[in-house]
Amino acid sequence: MSSGMDRADLAPLIDHTVLGPTTTQTAVDRVVDDAIDAGMNVCIPPCYVDCVTDDAPDSLTVATVIGFPHGQAAPAVKREAATAAVAAGADELDVVCNVGRLKAGEQAAVVDELAAITAAVAVPVKVIIETGLLTHEEKHRACEAAVDADAAMVKTSTGFADAEQSGATVADVELLADYLPVKASGGIGDYETAMAMLEAGADRIGASSGLAILDGALS
């Protein structure tokens, strides 16, 4: 990858994202249009999924988030939100794990919550572990929980954590990639950073700067 990637090869690896608290339907529509034109996927708030999937082409992969951004909803609430999102047309779910329970050593509770979600839906589940809030040992346990819960991928970050390093890092991607396919997310704003994550082992990039990332790719 060090010699560069073609735009057409890179685009399907990007989840073009809009998840901020002030996100409007207009903002979602703009992200969706850009993703369709460029060949990217989208990651959008759950409240807009049905509005998008009613009109979007089948070729567009629509991801949404569950328990975002803190992962602290009750397990049954997160499970219900997951099934509702899939019923609305979501193709993939990015689920925030309960970081507090993970840090408290409640491994079984973390696994059980995630496993209930993966069992309830027939779409890929990416587990967001919020690397910036975890110790090295906790990152390993978070990945182990994702594996034990039959998740499809593990995702570095929400991008909203109150942490000195709230986004993806090369070191974290390398660690996570030993367990599951990785979605690197948070702080990836240009082609060079995205390529560094892919070279470290990431399989997917989550970014609000999808178009800027593609601008650096080979045409």
- Concatenated DSSP letters of 9-53: HHGGGEEEE---TT--HHHHHHHHHHHHHHT-EEEE-GGGHHHHH
Rg (CA), the chain: 16
What distance lies between CA 171 and its chain's CA centroid? Answer: 18
Name the residues annotated as catalytic.
94, 155, 183
pLDDT of the residue at 163: 78
Take residue 103 and report the two structure tokens written for it. Answer: 């840090």
How high is the pLDDT of residue 3? 61
State the DSSP string of 97-157.
Answer: --HHHHHTT-HHHHHHHHHHHHHH-SS-EEEE--GGG--HHHHHHHHHHHHHTT-SEEE--
Report which residue type is found at 158: T
Q: pLDDT tens across 125-159, in order?
A: 999 999 999 999 999 999 999 999 999 999 999 99
**3-class SS at 92?**
strand
pLDDT for res 1: 41
Counted residue by residue, the chain has a size of 219
User: pLDDT tens string for the chain (219 positions)?
Assistant: 446 899 999 999 999 999 999 999 999 999 999 999 999 999 999 999 999 999 999 999 999 999 999 999 999 999 999 999 999 999 999 999 999 999 999 999 999 999 999 999 999 999 999 999 999 999 999 999 999 999 999 999 999 998 777 799 999 999 999 999 999 999 999 999 999 999 999 999 999 999 999 999 987
* Terminal C-alpha separation, the chain: 15
Q: Residue 164, CB half-sphere, CA atoms under 13 Å: how many? A: 2
* CATH H-level superfamily of 7-215: Aldolase class I (3.20.20.70)
Structure-token match 């594996």, residue found? 147
Q: What is the pLDDT of residue 2?
A: 47
Between the alpha carbon of residue 26 and those of residues 6, 21, 33, 80, 197, the distances in Å are 30, 14, 11, 27, 30
